[in-house]
């Protein structure tokens, strides 16, 4: 993974010193609340319902065992002994004290981490494929490019006060695992007909209260121009994005108002002026960055593991776990393992200090000391020897990370909701748990197959409900918590936005509604059709009819 | 009166900022920084008069000054609130695209914690908000030594300097 040099370390250290000074000036009354707010937000610090919340950046979701141990230490000494992994591949702590935050940032800096631009109206943590570098469908490893974008965007002086937040995803695979099309910028690596590397560039995707699928504004951007082109996009947005209404301030609104074609023309005009200039990325820089992401010292295996095959044949629970939580690796004899952070009864995405340390140990033992965070709020050990899978599974079961449901209905993506977040209209964690309890029959879940259920406690959509096959949104009706249900959303190459099925429900009705939606699917599916495919074929009408016939 | 930081020091400001004026005849004597619309309406007379600068609002198009950048000794860019970041891009267009070489001054809600970023985007004069200590604000210029991206002050990004 990327390692800081003196320049990187000095920059982060100075950021810590800057924020320490800003915090002291705020506490002395020299900065007003309005003046301090954007400064603390751009260092990841929110003021939440119970206490401040600190969001720590995990650049493109890649974290080392050493860093995990520091996160565990911070959660234990400065928080309540746990952290929450987010849909932006970051981790957040819900209980730090404002006065302690500069010290926490200093501890993070000591392990090459920071909280820069994890909030605020600026370029946020760049995300990428959690299987980067090990996936079989990869054109390029996107991590050197994600690191390049991280560096460019870090303390970029022109874009610290954009109209609204700005999220970039980069992928190097043919199969999208980054939710690319619901990003402000999505860049997908492609090769042109003479084999040159470039990026297909999408803008204006996003979730929130006005969800949109991104528009392609450039079919092929020469790879070396990526930062010049991103500068051009950001400049057009910075100058023309709406600032009169924060709910209309994301780039997607201005792209729609201008039309994607006109927006693209403006970007091209701006790009023309900087094309080939100093911001053009030299090959040497990409080679330098790529050296941080070379293959670990893999052992050579002539074939996939026979012992692993035998263990699958031997044990139903193990074979289930292998089927759902293990993915094929580019190397023979290796596997990609997903650790579920969605065990029923624990808030989705949460991990305790002890669990973080245990994961660090597992990473050291089984996966070259590295862990990836997925935007579905699970963790990945990307380089596990197949011969070790059974032993690892036994350990993961003990730790509560082996729920064999990755990609199934109970692998729920979920924001912290009204239990923690001051923006939320409604709680989300207890609803997730009620659904997990209702669908506790593994055989049935397996029969239902791939089904993404995403839930957000408000229309900011941190729980990605718009792109859930089933989406749940917490809404406020006269001070009461209600839940609006949508179906038909999807992420990935075939991204689509869910459609709301009708009036919202009280909390206790939600599990029954999900059951009825599933019943319609089970009764009407054809062959191996997945839930999303049935919804696309039939539309929402039969689902809607069943749900509301029963309730009203 | 706002205090002016220029060349890393608090200096006396010889320029007067004219926020609003309709009539050319009302323009006071001495060096004045006038609104863009006023400049465009009275351009020739103002050039004859001399000692005139122009200030841009966040909604103004800096390209309106394409013919004038060589003649203007000072262009100011207004920040009605420090959280309105349009002025940063306006500055970069003036410096990078229009090759403006004169004094580029940040006016309005100009505070210590934004000085480094403003300077990177090409500002070299800062009219610190009147209720703040400009001497203390000087420290903000040194929050960082340099950053990664290509900027107006340092067009070579860090990857070309490392």
Residue A299 lies in a domain: no
pLDDT of A550 > 80? The answer is no
Q: Which residues of A touch B120 (CB under 8 A)?
A: 157-158
Distance between CA atoms of A498 and A488, rounded to whole angstroms?
4
Most confident of A209-213, A415-419, B144-148: B144-148
Neighbours of A228 (CB within 10 A): 23
B98 touching A (Cβ < 8 Å)? no
pLDDT band at A420 (very low <50, low <70, confident <90, very high): confident
Could you tell me the residue range of the domain that residue A169 belongs to? 133-289
Residue A243 lies in a domain: yes
Residue A386 lies in a domain: yes
- Name beta bridge partners: A282: none
Q: Which residues of A touch B77 (CB under 8 A)?
A: none
CB pairs < 8 Å spanning A and B: 104
Kindly determine whether residue B149 and residue A277, on different chains, have CB atoms separated by under 8 Å.
no
Kindly determine whether residue A235 and residue B89, on different chains, have CB atoms separated by under 8 Å.
yes
Q: What is the pLDDT of residue A427?
A: 93
Q: What is the pLDDT of residue A49?
A: 64
Same domain for A63 and A190, yes or no, is no
Kindly determine whether residue A155 and residue B147, on different chains, have CB atoms separated by under 8 Å.
yes
Q: What are the angstrom distances between the C-alpha of A198 and each of A3, A55, A130, A142, A222? A: 26, 32, 21, 12, 4
Same domain for A511 and A536, yes or no, is yes
pLDDT band at A552 (very low <50, low <70, confident <90, very high): low
Residue A296 lies in a domain: no
Give, in degrees to the nearest 5, the angle at Cα A338 between A1 and A403.
150
A278-313 pLDDT tens trace:
999 999 999 999 999 999 999 999 999 999 999 999
A20-59 pLDDT tens trace:
999 999 999 999 999 999 999 999 999 866 678 999 999 9
pLDDT band at A19 (very low <50, low <70, confident <90, very high): very high
Same domain for A184 and A247, yes or no, is yes
A11 touching B (Cβ < 8 Å)? yes
B144 touching A (Cβ < 8 Å)? yes
Residue A117 lies in a domain: no
Same domain for A377 and A344, yes or no, is yes
- Name beta bridge partners: A328: A335
B83 touching A (Cβ < 8 Å)? yes
- Report the residue from B85, B92, B159 with minimal CB separation from A282: B159
B143 touching A (Cβ < 8 Å)? yes
A115-128 pLDDT tens trace:
999 999 999 999 99
Distance between CA atoms of A3 and A408, rounded to whole angstroms?
36
Same domain for A274 and A326, yes or no, is no
Q: How far is CA A477 from the centre of its chain?
A: 29
Same domain for A268 and A319, yes or no, is no
B99 touching A (Cβ < 8 Å)? no
Kindly determine whether residue B118 and residue A157, on different chains, have CB atoms separated by under 8 Å.
yes
B103-154 pLDDT tens trace:
999 999 999 999 999 999 999 999 999 999 999 999 999 999 999 999 999 9
> Mean pLDDT across the stretch B9-38?
93
pLDDT band at B41 (very low <50, low <70, confident <90, very high): very high
Residue A393 lies in a domain: yes
Number of folded domains in chain A?
Answer: 4
| ipTM confidence | 0.97
B109 touching A (Cβ < 8 Å)? no
- Report the residue from B89, B155, B162 with minimal CB separation from A239: B89
B27 touching A (Cβ < 8 Å)? no
Q: What is the pLDDT of residue A423?
A: 85
B97 touching A (Cβ < 8 Å)? yes
- On whether the CB atoms of residues A85 and A91 are closer than 8 A, the answer is yes
Kindly determine whether residue B151 and residue A158, on different chains, have CB atoms separated by under 8 Å.
yes
% of residues, chain A, pLDDT over 70: 99
pLDDT band at A349 (very low <50, low <70, confident <90, very high): very high
Same domain for A395 and A423, yes or no, is no
B117 touching A (Cβ < 8 Å)? yes
A39: nearest Cα among A96, A149, A116: A116
Residue A224 lies in a domain: yes
Q: What is the pLDDT of residue A309?
A: 96
Per DSSP bridges, beta strands A215-222 and A197-203 are: antiparallel
Same domain for A246 and A367, yes or no, is no
Distance between CA atoms of A435 and A424, rounded to whole angstroms?
20
Q: What is the pLDDT of residue A310?
A: 96
- CATH code, domain with A420: 3.30.413.10
- CATH code, domain with A60: 3.90.480.20
Q: What is the pLDDT of residue A208?
A: 86
Same domain for A18 and A152, yes or no, is no
pLDDT of B65 > 60? The answer is yes
Residue A297 lies in a domain: no
- Closest chain A C-alpha to B94 CA, distance in angstroms: 13
Q: What are the angstrom distances between the C-alpha of B51 and each of A6, B102, B108? A: 47, 13, 21
Q: What is the pLDDT of residue B22?
A: 76
Torsion angle of C-alpha atoms A89, A93, A97, A102, degrees rounded to 10: -30
Residue that terminates a domain, selected from A57, A76, A110: A110
- Report the residue from A162, A277, A285 with minimal CB separation from B85: A162
Instruction: Tell me phi and psi for residue A450, to 5 degrees.
Output: -60, 125
B156 touching A (Cβ < 8 Å)? yes
> Mean pLDDT across the stretch A492-521?
96
Side-chain-side CA neighbours of residue B33 (13 Å): 22
Same domain for A226 and A183, yes or no, is yes
Q: What is the pLDDT of residue A50?
A: 66
Residue that terminates a domain, selected from A55, A76, A110: A110
pLDDT band at A551 (very low <50, low <70, confident <90, very high): low
Same domain for A477 and A449, yes or no, is yes
- Closest chain B C-alpha to A269 CA, distance in angstroms: 12
Kindly determine whether residue B162 and residue A7, on different chains, have CB atoms separated by under 8 Å.
yes
Name the residue of chain B whose CA is nearest to A272's CA.
B97
% of residues, chain B, pLDDT over 70: 99
Q: What is the pLDDT of residue A197?
A: 98
B145 touching A (Cβ < 8 Å)? yes
Residue that terminates a domain, selected from A289, A314, A330: A289
A231 touching B (Cβ < 8 Å)? yes
Rounded mean pLDDT of chain A? 95
- Report the residue from B86, B113, B116 with minimal CB separation from A238: B86
pLDDT band at A110 (very low <50, low <70, confident <90, very high): very high
pLDDT band at A95 (very low <50, low <70, confident <90, very high): confident
Same domain for A420 and A484, yes or no, is yes
Round to the nearest angstrom and report the end-to-end CA distance of chain A: 55
- Closest chain B C-alpha to A289 CA, distance in angstroms: 10
pLDDT of A416 > 90? The answer is no
- Report the residue from A227, A238, A281 with minimal CB separation from B85: A238
B159 touching A (Cβ < 8 Å)? yes
B6 touching A (Cβ < 8 Å)? no
> Mean pLDDT across the stretch A63-90?
95
Distance between CA atoms of A539 and A525, rounded to whole angstroms?
13
Q: Which residues of B touch A121 (CB under 8 A)?
A: 83, 85
Among B62, B66, B89, B98, which would you mutate to test the A interface (most chain A Cβ atoms within 10 Å of its Cβ)? B89
- Closest chain A C-alpha to B75 CA, distance in angstroms: 18
- For each of the domains in chain B, give its residue range(s) and CATH number, in order of start: 3-161 (3.40.50)
pLDDT of A369 > 60? The answer is yes
Rounded mean pLDDT of chain B? 96
- Report the residue from A39, A157, A227 with minimal CB separation from B120: A157
């Amino acid at each position: 993974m990327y390692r800081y040099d003196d320049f990187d370390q000095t920059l982060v250290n100075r950021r810590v010193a800057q924020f320490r000074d800003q915090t002291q000036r705020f506490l002395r009354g020299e900065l007003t609340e309005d003046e301090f707010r954007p400064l603390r937000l751009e260092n990841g610090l929110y003021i939440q319902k119970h206490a401040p919340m600190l969001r720590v950046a995990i650049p493109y979701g890649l974290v080392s065992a050493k860093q995990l141990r520091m996160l565990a230490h911070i959660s234990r000494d400065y928080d309540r002994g746990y952290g929450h992994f987010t849909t932006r591949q970051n981790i957040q702590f819900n209980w730090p004290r404002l006065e302690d935050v500069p010290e926490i940032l200093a501890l993070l800096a000591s392990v090459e981490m920071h909280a820069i631009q994890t909030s605020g109206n600026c370029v946020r943590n760049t995300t990428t494929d959690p299987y980067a570098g090990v996936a079989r469908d990869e054109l390029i490893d996107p991590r050197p490019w994600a690191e390049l974008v991280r560096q460019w965007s870090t303390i970029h002086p022109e874009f610290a006060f954009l109209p609204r937040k700005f999220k970039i995803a980069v992928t190097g695979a043919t199969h999208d695992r980054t939710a690319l099309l619901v990003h402000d910028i999505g860049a997908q690596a492609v090769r042109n007909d003479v084999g040159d590397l470039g990026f297909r560039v999408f803008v204006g995707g996003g979730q929130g209260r006005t969800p949109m699928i991104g528009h392609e504004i450039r079919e092929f951007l020469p790879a070396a121009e990526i930062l010049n082109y991103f500068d051009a996009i950001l400049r057009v947005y910075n100058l023309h994005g709406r600032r009169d209404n924060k709910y209309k301030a994301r780039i997607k609104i201005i792209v729609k108002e201008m039309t994607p074609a006109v927006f693209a023309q403006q970007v091209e005009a701006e790009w023309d002026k900087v094309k080939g200039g100093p911001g053009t990325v030299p090959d040497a820089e990409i080679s330098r960055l790529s050296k941080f992401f070379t293959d670990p010292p893999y052992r050579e295996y002539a074939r996939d593991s026979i012992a692993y095959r035998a263990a699958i044949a031997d044990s139903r629970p193990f074979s289930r776990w292998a089927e759902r939580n293990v993915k094929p690796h580019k190397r023979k004899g290796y596997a990609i393992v997903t650790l579920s952070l969605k065990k029923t009864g624990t808030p989705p995405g949460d991990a305790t200090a002890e669990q973080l340390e245990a994961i660090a140990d597992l990473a050291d033992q089984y996966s070259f000391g590295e862990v990836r965070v997925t935007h579905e709020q699970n963790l990945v050990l990307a380089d596990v020897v197949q011969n070790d899978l059974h032993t690892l599974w036994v350990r993961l079961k003990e730790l509560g990370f082996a729920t064999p449901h990755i990609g199934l209905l109970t692998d729920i993506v979920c924001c912290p909701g009204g239990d923690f977040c001051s923006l939320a209209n409604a709680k989300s964690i207890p609803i997730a748990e009620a659904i997990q309890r209702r669908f506790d029959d593994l055989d049935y879940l397996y029969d239902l197959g791939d089904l993404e259920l995403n839930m957000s406690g408000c229309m900011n959509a941190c729980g990605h409900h718009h792109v859930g096959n089933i989406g749940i949104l917490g809404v406020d009706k006269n001070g009461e918590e209600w839940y609006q249900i949508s179906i038909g959303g999807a992420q990935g190459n075939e991204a689509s936005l869910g459609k709301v099925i009708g009036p919202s429900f009280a909390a206790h009705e939600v599990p029954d509604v999900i059951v009825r939606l599933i019943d319609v699917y089970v009764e009407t599916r054809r062959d191996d059709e997945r839930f999303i495919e049935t919804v696309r074929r039939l539309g929402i009408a039969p689902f809607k009819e069943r749900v509301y016939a029963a309730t009203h | 009166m706002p205090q002016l930081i220029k060349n890393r020091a608090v200096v006396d400001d010889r320029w007067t900022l004219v926020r609003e004026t309709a009539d050319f005849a009302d323009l006071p004597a001495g060096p004045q920084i006038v609104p863009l619309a006023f400049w465009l309406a009275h351009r020739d007379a103002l050039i004859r008069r001399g000692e005139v600068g122009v200030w841009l609002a966040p909604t103004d198009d800096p390209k309106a000054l394409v013919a004038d950048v060589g003649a203007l000794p000072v262009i100011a860019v207004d920040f009605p609130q420090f959280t309105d970041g349009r002025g940063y891009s306006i500055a970069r267009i003036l410096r990078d695209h229009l090759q403006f070489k004169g004094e580029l001054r940040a006016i309005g809600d100009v505070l210590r914690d934004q000085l480094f970023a403003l300077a990177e985007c090409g500002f070299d004069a800062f009219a610190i908000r009147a209720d703040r200590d400009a001497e203390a604000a000087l420290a903000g210029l040194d929050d960082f030594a340099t950053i990664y991206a290509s900027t107006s002050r340092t067009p070579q990004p860090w990857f070309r300097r490392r």
